[in-house]
Amino acid sequence: MKWKFDCFKDNRGESEVVDFIKSLSVKAKQNLKRALQILSVLPIQDWHKPNPSSNISNHIYVIRFKDENRTQWRIYGFHDVQRGFFMMTNYGTEKDGKYKPAVSKCAELSTERMQLCSGNDRASHVYGSGVSNEFSITTDQKLLG
């Protein structure tokens, strides 16, 4: 299975992850794109080091990448296995083993958003139908450059 990537949207159709990705430098976007290309072809059980991801809690994963200033960015989310998606739910940073926001907070928010999605069968107001028109890692060259 080849994973597709999408971003969680709130009830207004807005996505903090899309806004975050748009704000990244060209180099950080290139590094994120490369990480996602690697992960897109891996089965879930291979989403761990040395690959650019890890399972951090019950069904919640983190994707790791850096920018040109060596800032270590993190995007958190979960797999929708039935639809072949990885849903990106929130983001943060890591420096010297310190995470902002804390990993536990990111995992909690990701879990809440995962439950929102599964609680309404991935309703279109939560993240759009299929790959959103606003954001598709595998096809949106404007977003990732």
As a whole number, mean pLDDT of residues 41-59 equals: 93
Cis check: omega of the bond before 101, within 30 degrees of 0 = yes
Look at the block and give the residue holding tokens 């951090």. Answer: 56
Q: pTM of the predicted model, to two decimals?
A: 0.83
Within a 10 A sphere around the Cβ of 3, how many other Cβ atoms?
Answer: 20
Within a 10 A sphere around the Cβ of 129, how many other Cβ atoms?
Answer: 10
* Torsion from C-alpha of 50, 85, 33, 47, nearest 10 degrees: 0
Residue 35 near residue 63 (C-beta atoms within 8 A)? yes
Tell me, what amino acid is at 8?
A: F
Nearest of 73, 143, 81, 64 to residue 118 by alpha carbon? 81
User: In this predicted structure, what is the pLDDT of residue 127?
Assistant: 39
Instruction: Please state, in angstroms and rounded to a whole number, the distance separating the CA atoms of residues 34 and 43.
Output: 17
pLDDT tens per residue across span 67-97: 999 899 999 999 988 888 899 999 999 988 8
As a whole number, mean pLDDT of residues 90-110 equals: 92
Q: From residue 46, how far is each of 7, 50, 52, 69, 120 by CA, in Å?
A: 21, 9, 10, 28, 29
Res. 133: pLDDT tops 50: no
